[in-house]
Amino acid sequence: MGIDPLNLAEKALSHFREGSTDQSESVMKMPIDAYTDPDRYKRESNLIFRHLPMAAALSIELPEAGNYKAMTVLDVPILLVRGKDGKARAFLNVCRHRGAKLCPDGSGTSRVFSCPYHAWTYGHLGELVGRYGADTFGEIESEEYGLTSLDCQEQAGLIWTLLSPGKSFDVDLWLGDFKTELESLQLGDWVLHEQRELPGPGWKVAMDGYLEAYHHQIVHGRTVGKHTVGNLLVLNTFGPHQILTFARKSIGSLADIPRENWKPMDHIRLIHSCFPNLSISGILGGQCLVSQVFPGPTPETTVTRQSILAAPSVDEESVKVFSKMTLEAVRDEDYKIGADIQSSIHAGANDHFVFGKNEPAVQNYHKWISNFMESETYTWS
């Protein structure tokens, strides 16, 4: 039994009437090194991005056998492939002969993967199925030269993997009760309309912006802020994962309707934030923005993959409007401010940043970064 949207709407209505919001107990100070120190970033890359399960792709990106997606996260090239058995698998996108990148980043459909260097060929299970000039090359044990696997599990319409070969995970354990919430989104039933990649500021500067409603009226007055109430947040946490509920401008109208007649989802907007880099945001009815924030080679940069999803019944024109709005809100509003923050972060103005009581999801996020930096495990409950 997941969270009841009626209860979320009730809390949001109450905050709206009181001019209040969910809060942490106190303000929290975060030393600026957490945003700038390259050594710390290296440790975070290892203990967070290479150590925790990550949603690499949507299941609907690879609907058929033979569909693949190649991508590079940090400096790890990965290849996701759906096999004839319907199962999605993940491999390092690196040839086992002498290490050439097997296929360029991108997606498509292929029966086999043939290396561009000496044409060794691999099947959907990562198995080595052919070697050019095998009789001249000499004997090797083909079974020992399959692609290097990464653990991969498909759950809640997402393909999860872990960037370190030889390490395994249990996605149920990683998600806990958050799994039910993700499943309720039925991501497998949506239509993928568009994907694009946006350069952005460092991962914490970028992610902080996904985790509060404090800036909405100020930054997004012309875009997403038109639809939501600023500085009003209802927060549900599941360890490191979080559901942020924002109120739509219409929330106050619920006060005049008996609770049993409420259509709560018409008046709230949910953001499912999966640690460390995935945000699924239902902004307007029947449309959804999935954002994956991938860290760059330094603490200063990221690339965000935006996927625009819509219910099958939504018409093309509405999706275009939605897509344009989300692009403007993130590229021209959030990440523009993010770039400014990034450009002056070394100026010496702040030796710490301060997170308000009204930014409890930002606080929870940073608390879990610290927790995972001290732990060797991905479990949290």
Tell me the closest approach of the beta carbon of residue 206 to Fe ion, in angstroms: 10
Q: Which does 117 bind (CB under 5 to 8 A by kind): Fe ion, ligand FES, none?
A: ligand FES
Q: Which does 100 bind (CB under 5 to 8 A by kind): Fe ion, ligand FES, none?
A: ligand FES
Site track for ligand FES across 151-170, x = CB under 6 A: --------------------
- Binding range to ligand FES, per CB under 6 A, among 98-106, 203-211, 228-236, 344-352: 98-106
Reading the block at residue 138, the tokens are: 């000499």
Applying CB under 5 A, does 334 fall inside the site for Fe ion? yes
Give the other-Cβ count within 10 Å of 307's Cβ: 21
List the one residue from 40, 50, 118, 227 that touches ligand FES (CB under 6 A): 118
Question: Rounded CA gap, 77 and 17, in Å?
Answer: 50
Contact 236, 358 (CB under 8 A): no
- Binding range to ligand FES, per CB under 6 A, among 94-102, 216-224, 323-331, 349-357: 94-102
Q: Where are the strands (E) in the chain, listed by range?
A: 28-31, 54-58, 67-73, 76-82, 88-92, 106-109, 113-114, 121-122, 128-130, 149-150, 152-155, 158-161, 191-200, 234-238, 241-247, 268-274, 278-281, 287-295, 302-310, 352-355
Tell me the closest approach of the beta carbon of residue 89 to ligand FES, in angstroms: 19
Applying CB under 6 A, does 380 fall inside the site for ligand FES? no
Type of residue at 78: I
Residues 206-245 that bind Fe ion (CB under 5 A): 209
Applying CB under 6 A, does 120 fall inside the site for ligand FES? yes
- Nearer to ligand FES among residue 114 and residue 292 (C-beta): 114
Q: What are phi and psi of 321, to 5 degrees?
A: -60, -45
- Nearer to ligand FES among residue 24 and residue 114 (C-beta): 114
Q: Where are the alpha helices (DSSP H) in the chain?
A: 5-18, 33-36, 38-44, 134-137, 171-175, 178-184, 203-210, 216-219, 316-327, 335-343, 360-374
List the one residue from 98, 249, 263, 352 that touches ligand FES (CB under 6 A): 98
Tell me the closest approach of the beta carbon of residue 96 to ligand FES, in angstroms: 7
**Site of interaction with ligand FES (CB under 6 A):** 95, 97-100, 115, 117-120
